Amino acid sequence: MTFVDLHLHSRFSDGTYGPEDLAEQARRCELAAIALTDHDSVEGCPETARACAAAGIEFITGTELTSEQDGNELHILGYCIDTQNPRLLTQIARFQAVRQNRIREMVTRLNQLNIPLSAEAVFALANCRAPGRPHVARALVAAGLCASLDEAFERFLKKNRPAWVPKFKMSGAEALDLIHQAGGVAVLAHPGLNRTDEVIPGMVEAGMDGIECFHTKHSTAATERYLELADRFHLLVTGGSDCHGLNKGKPLIGTVKVPYQHLEKLKARAAEIRAAASLR
Ligand code: AMP
Ligand code: ZN
Ligand code: FE
Ligand code: FE
């Protein structure tokens, strides 16, 4: 049986691996294919595609968009997207600016708590257009202001903690549309993590193509439940490790076993979406 990992982050968002590292790790894990799903970014895709081609690994373009539906944060994965699509790139740039402004606001709140971190230190460490809370956490640890990433999140950065700042998000329907018009397949990421099952029927109605059933943080029971939901709503099944590189000790890439057949179906759907778009 051959396996794929369809949920990976790189240094173009809050992962630590670069394109070469991802291809090398995928080869080490004997994966047949990987997808890069950086938060609000597609910037790493061309380079990762080249690194994967050199390593004999199939590469699938992707992104993970943060959206909000009925007060719930939903992460929407887009697969097989055209990474040059103008509307996608415009919207991504907009949400990257939101992320950068949010970093400044989080640092201001930390400063008000007498934590002497500078926004420049966070941006220098992040060194990417889509910075997030993990970069603030890493900068706090690097400056000796927190002992660990967990401490940084627990004390300051988790939702409703003193340095947490809400983020302006697109709606779930907008995320689906943005991915579809870029020729991609739209999948709800880790539903078990956000406990957002009640939004699934509405998102299916709005055109969502699949759900991520296999994920590092899904229990066996959760995975079975989402496989059942996928079957009931005629959704594609996807999965991946959500590896962020060496952020949290041992890398997660390849630890979630997703059979290749699911990628086969996903690619078939992407071909249908592109064919429909060319008829419009
Ligand atoms: P952001 O997009 O800036 O809201 O940051 C979200 C990212 O932070 C997630 O994708 C995770 O990688 C990470 N994250 C969220 N909560 C925690 C936590 N409690 N501990 C460590 N990392 C976290
Ligand atoms: Zn992340
Ligand atoms: Fe996510
Ligand atoms: Fe992710």
State the distance from the centre of ligand 1 to the C-alpha of 134, rounded, in angstroms: 6
Give the tens place of pLDDT for each residue, 221-260: 999 999 999 999 999 999 999 999 997 678 999 999 999 9
Locate the ligand 1 atom nearest the alpha carbon of residue 132 and give its number.
3
> Per this entry, what is the length of the chain?
280
Give yes or no for residue 153 CB within 6 A of ligand 1: yes
Give the tens place of pLDDT for each residue, 173-193: 999 999 999 999 999 999 999
Q: Are β-strands 236-240 and 258-259 bridged in parallel, bridged antiparallel, or unpaired?
A: unpaired
pLDDT at 87 over 90: yes
Give yes or no for residue 15 CB within 6 A of ligand 1: no
- What pTM does this model have? 0.96
Give the tens place of pLDDT for each residue, 39-53: 999 999 999 999 999
Dihedral, CA atoms, 15, 182, 191, 237, nearest 10 degrees?
-100
pLDDT at 274 over 70: yes
Give the tens place of pLDDT for each residue, 10-64: 999 999 999 999 999 999 999 999 999 999 999 999 999 999 999 999 999 999 9
Residue 199 DSSP one-character state: G
Residue 206 DSSP one-character state: T
pLDDT for the residue 248:
67
194 falls in which pLDDT band (50, 70, 90)? confident
User: What is the token pair recorded at 36?
Assistant: 């890069």
80 falls in which pLDDT band (50, 70, 90)? very high
- The one-letter code for the residue type at 203 is M
Could you give the CA distance from residue 138 to residue 150 in angstroms, rounded to a whole number?
10
| CB burial readout 27-39, b (16+ within 10 A) else e | bebebbbbbbbbb
pLDDT for the residue 63:
98
Averaged pLDDT, 124-152: 97
State the distance from the centre of ligand 3 to the C-alpha of 252, rounded, in angstroms: 14
Unique residue bearing structure tokens 């394109």: 19
Give the tens place of pLDDT for each residue, 117-128: 999 999 999 999
pLDDT at 279 over 90: no
Nearest-ligand number for the alpha carbon of 11: 2
Per DSSP, the residues of 233-253 read TT-EEEEE--B-TTTTSS--T
| 33-36 sheet: strands from edge to edge | 58-60, 33-36, 3-8, 258-259
Give yes or no for residue 134 CB within 6 A of ligand 1: yes
pLDDT at 265 over 80: yes
Give the phi and the psi of residue 33 in degrees, each rounded to 5. Answer: -155, 150
